[in-house]
Amino acid sequence: MNVPQHDSGPTSNDLLESLIAEHTTAALNYQIVEQNAEDVQNIENAPAVSMEPYLLQSGQRSLLTTISIYSLRGESREQIRLLYMNPVAIRIWEEMGKAPRIIGAQVRPPHTALLTFGVPFST
């Protein structure tokens, strides 16, 4: 006997997995971007130098109070500088034509990282 299958929508397990994924992703506020020696040699690859003029020229001045970028010195030529960028900073960086090499994400920058551009992390 074939019993008709009724699609009653997502199960409670589906909803739970969706909520966990949503909250886990949302909690990782900073993407980690690596810059190699060649990247660092071009001053335009320093957010503190290039991002503010871009925002002013593109009429996005209001974003200056929402961007948060920290940096930390890397330990190799392939990772000479690490940038910890919040989602707004990543979006602007990409809009500027940069191609960030994202190597990870975390809730907030390490305590040893220095605020490079924008506003400090706060909870």
In the numeric block, which tokens belong to residue 60? 């996005």
Cβ neighbours, 10 Å, residue 89:
26
Number of domains in the chain: 1
Query: Model-level pTM?
Result: 0.76
Q: Residue 58 belongs to what domain range?
A: 32-118
For residue 30, give the 3-state DSSP assignment: strand
Q: How many helices (H) and strands (E) does the chain have?
A: 4, 5
CA distance 2 to 111: 62
- Nearest CA to 99 among 6, 40, 10, 33? 33
Contact 72/114 with Cβ under 8 angstroms? Answer: yes
Asked whether 84 and 70 are in contact (CB, 8 A), the reply is yes
Q: Does residue 71 lie in a domain region? A: yes
Residue 18 lies in a domain: no
Cβ(105)–Cβ(34) below 8 Å:
no
- Domain for residue 54, yes or no? yes
Evaluate whether residue 51 is within a structural domain: yes
The residue ranges of DSSP E strands in the chain, in sequence order, are 30-35, 68-73, 81-85, 101-106, 114-118
Residue 103's pLDDT is 96
Each residue's pLDDT, cut to its tens digit, for the chain (123 residues) gives: 555 555 566 777 766 666 666 555 557 899 999 999 999 999 999 999 999 999 999 999 999 999 999 999 999 999 999 999 999 999 999 999 999 999 999 999 999 999 999 999 754
DSSP code at position 112: T
**What pLDDT was estimated at residue 123?**
47
Domain-embedded: residue 16: no
